[in-house]
Amino acid sequence: MEKAQADIQKRTERVTVQQIVDGVLDMIRKGVFCPGKPIREVELCRRFNVSRTPVREALRLLQNNGVVEYIPRCGVQVVDLSEQDLIYITDTRTALEVLGAREAALRITPEQVEDLRKINRSFLEQKETGFRGSLDNDFHIAIARISGNPCLVEYIQNLLMRQALIAAAIPMQPQRVPYAYEEHEAIIRGLELRDPELAAKQADIHFHMSQKSLQNKLQKYLETK
């Protein structure tokens, strides 16, 4: 009995709460967990080979970030975002990302420029939709981190968590990818030149183009609900 408990503890230590959070978000993006459908603790325990304690902590963090909600007699479910919710999220994220690009341009190093280009090349070459979305997130979080503003990183990560709620239903279309890649490159050029206004301008263009594409897909998605 003691050995079994020790084994569970060791497994739990190997899989962190953050890894469970990231795993659940990835499953939401891939449509494994859909809005309005329950998320069973026992299923997560089995998937991650952990006890209920880290699973409950991960779900609590996701609930605090507006990704899941507890429904009496139904359990934990993925939140179903409205069209207005998504508009609020994308508008707020645009403002934060523009600020992040402006601040990052003042601090970025040549090594960080190359790191961003590597992420962007992987984003272009990735064929699997879920991984492509993760690389897109990695690109924007990297810029926020370069800005040196920890609040910015935290807020953008929170918004990216919430955007995962609709990524499974309306993922980035393949035809949008090369355009997003070039928009990313334009942001990188502004950062490389250490030009805050150019970097901010290119970030603003990128997010307005992304928002336009998202709203078109969202409208079609809502018509099918």
Check pLDDT > 90 for residue 109. yes
- Decide which of 1.10.10.10, 3.90.1010.10, 1.20.1250.20, 3.40.50.300 is the CATH code for 2-78: 1.10.10.10
Check pLDDT > 60 for residue 63. yes
**pLDDT the model gives residue 207:** 92
Which part of the chain has CATH 1.20.120.530?
83-224
Which part of the chain has CATH 1.10.10.10?
2-78
Check pLDDT > 90 for residue 214. no
Instruction: Please give the share of the chain, as a percent, with pLDDT higher than 70.
Output: 86
Lowest average pLDDT, out of 25-29, 135-139, 166-170, 195-199, goes to 166-170
The conformational region for residue 73 under phi > 0 = left, psi -120 to 50 = alpha, else beta, is left
**pLDDT the model gives residue 14:** 66
**pLDDT the model gives residue 4:** 47
Whether the Cβ atoms of residue 205 and residue 107 lie closer than 8 Å to each other: no
**pLDDT the model gives residue 225:** 58
- Decide which of 3.30.70.260, 3.40.50.720, 3.90.1150.10, 1.20.120.530 is the CATH code for 83-224: 1.20.120.530
Q: Which of 158, 147, 125, 160 is nearest to 196 (CA)?
A: 147
Q: pTM of the predicted model, to two decimals?
A: 0.79
